Structure 1
């Protein structure tokens, strides 16, 4: 059973992590850089674009640095993040909004972009359809999201430890795979779809360090079925042992991130 995302928990997690996000979000910063390279040949040099789930504004800041004539509009469900993004980019307009319900008129924007956000959206076709709705004909939709194999080491160790200790294994939020993303783009009516997959790996001293890093960027488990803690003390100790035994090397453990990059064009109406 796939656990739904608790939107209130997600909003709270990211809003309270706004101040510490940039210091700890090293993978997310690399995703932004790679997304910019991915869309460079197709990115408009002027016009108005929306940054869905803007976070602290890194993607919009870099886009405006490359193309100063672009006008950014920032949106995030977490008010703390919206404020951070707006403070970083003074010319930006900003609004609190969810990806599934964008408060913009039909055919009103030249580009919609997003980085490290859509993996949290339960109704991916609906969210993509919202972006298609607000784009001009031929407008660019570009995004990066974390795919199903993200943190596979942590998930495997957690589920094995849970089975040993009789704990629950079904409350982790499942991320989308490439086929799901492509289906959602097609359902939203996008054309000229281009998708790429990439794996990034970062290293931590131990599981505690990894979990602490995730918490500080607001990326803890946002499942509606998640318990107060990740697991019991004994289950957490077992998970740590499994993780290090199976994946550890040179006194470090890896954390793998599957990144799915997408680019598509709004259809002719």
Structure 2
């Protein structure tokens, strides 16, 4: 499943945004860190001792520290498509036990087939143009019996911001990235050949004193409007003031502006069966992580 029309992603713009955010991510990633910790906590329910673990869309590598403590004997790897993020993630761990982090796209992973027992990903899948392609790639690199655990965001994410923009421009522009429904994500897992998929969701809300604080946090973690159909040109100061006024009028509570994030959690297993056939003509660059 891929996005269509004005909701297609400009992947070059996404990479550029995350490259800029590499130095500020840790400071602003309050929500992303909370979601990541909740996802990793779910590994308490899983009885497995993986030998090879990979974090897909690892960012600056915060999850790699957790995974290193949890699975002390495992070899850790990470993949991110922003070189500046990769450089920071490579500094994680101790001198003799640093993760092997490579630069690559989740939809064309530079990893060997059946090379991992556990793959995790937090707050990254929403930047994939084709979720089907991403899931097929994860299915390819996992061994039979392997586990795929992830988080992403659903369509109610930043609904207040989207509504405030629509109030000002009448819905004529696309100012907030699109997010997929939880049920569509579960269907994509099945199409990719995963077994026993489990999906659930929850809403988390951050509050800000003003719109500037929200935008600062979003840009600080690399969240920018990366839609190919985004409105041309910059949203000028006067219109941003109008958006802030609409936001405060329609959603403000006691001088604070809420920002809702619909967090989607999922996990599934790799069965001992061949994966579904991949469409012809797709060439995937592959290199062993070792």
Aligned residue number for residue 154 of structure 2: 147
Task: Indicate yes or no: 2:275 matched with 1:256.
Answer: no
Q: Structure 1's 210 and 172: CA in aligned 2 closer, same or farther, altered over 3 A?
A: closer
Aligned residue number for residue 17 of structure 2: 13
- For residues 62-88 of structure 1, the C-alpha deviation after alignment (integer angstroms, 9 at most, x for no partner) is 111122122211110000111111112
Q: Is the 8 A contact 1:2 1:172 kept in 2?
A: no
Aligned residue number for residue 65 of structure 2: 61
How does 1:92-131 map onto structure 2 within 5 Å? 92-131=99-138
Q: Structure 1's 229 and 219: CA in aligned 2 closer, same or farther, altered over 3 A?
A: farther
Q: Is the 8 A contact 1:112 1:141 kept in 2?
A: yes
Task: Indicate yes or no: 2:170 matched with 1:170.
Answer: no
Aligned residue number for residue 189 of structure 2: 185
Give, in whole Å, the separation in 2 of the partners of 1:87 and 1:223. Answer: 32
Give, in whole Å, the separation in 1 of the partners of 2:157 and 2:187. Answer: 20
Shift of the alpha carbon at 1:125?
0.9
Structure 1: 5+ residue stretches without partners: none
Q: Number of aligned pairs?
A: 266
- For residues 221-265 of structure 1, the C-alpha deviation after alignment (integer angstroms, 9 at most, x for no partner) is 111233465523333222111110111112210111011000100
Q: Structure 1's 43 and 211: CA in aligned 2 closer, same or farther, altered over 3 A?
A: farther
Structure 2: 5+ residue stretches without partners: 274-290
Match of 1:236 among 215, 236, 240: 240
Give, in whole Å, the separation in 1 of the partners of 2:81 and 2:58. Answer: 9
So what's the TM-score if we normalise by structure 2? 0.87
Q: Which stretches of structure 1, 4 residues or more, deviate above 6 A after TM superposition?
A: none
Shift of the alpha carbon at 1:171?
5.5
Aligned residue number for residue 85 of structure 1: 89
So what's the TM-score if we normalise by structure 1? 0.94
Give, in whole Å, the separation in 1 of the partners of 2:192 and 2:241. Answer: 44
Give, in whole Å, the separation in 1 of the partners of 2:59 and 2:231. Answer: 26
